[in-house]
């Protein structure tokens, strides 16, 4: 099929934190054999810390990724140009992070 949908969700448990979660939704579209276009949405919450701030004795503030959801997104072009060889470019945007452009070349043995 030319379109594939992938969904993943996980719970994160750490001591002295509320339960956190991470998840993603990914779409992969094959334009022609070997050329993939993708879009990914992600969400993360590591869980709110139940430990007080030692400097103030007050509860730690809830921030994106720690007690509040932090979101991000990817756009991908993935080209399998020869057997066992792949070139990939990802444009990544995440809340409170700078824009990232990532290029990769993979050679499979």
Average pLDDT over residues 61-70: 87
Residue-wise pLDDT tens digits, 96-109: 999 999 999 999 98
Residue with more model confidence, 76 or 48? 76
Lowest mean pLDDT segment, chosen from 39-43, 52-56, 67-71, 90-94:
52-56
Lowest mean pLDDT segment, chosen from 4-8, 30-34, 53-57, 77-81:
53-57
Task: Give the 3-state secondary structure of residue 1.
Answer: coil
SS3 track for 32-101: ECCEEEEEEEEEEECCCECCECCCCCCECCCEECEEECEEEEEEEEEEEEECCEEEEEEEEEECCCCCEE
Please name the residue that has the structure tokens 């993603």. 24
Query: Residue 76: what pLDDT?
Result: 98
């Amino acid at each position: 099929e030319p379109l594939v949908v992938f969904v993943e969700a996980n719970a994160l448990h750490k001591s002295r934190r509320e339960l956190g979660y991470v998840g993603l939704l990914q779409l992969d579209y094959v334009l022609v054999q070997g050329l993939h276009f993708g879009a990914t949405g992600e969400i993360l919450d590591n869980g709110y810390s139940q430990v007080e701030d030692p400097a103030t004795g007050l509860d730690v503030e809830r921030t994106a990724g720690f007690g509040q959801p932090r979101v991000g997104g990817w756009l991908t072009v993935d080209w399998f140009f020869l057997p066992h060889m792949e070139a990939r470019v990802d444009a990544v945007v995440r809340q409170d992070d700078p824009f990232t452009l990532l290029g990769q070349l993979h050679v499979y043995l």
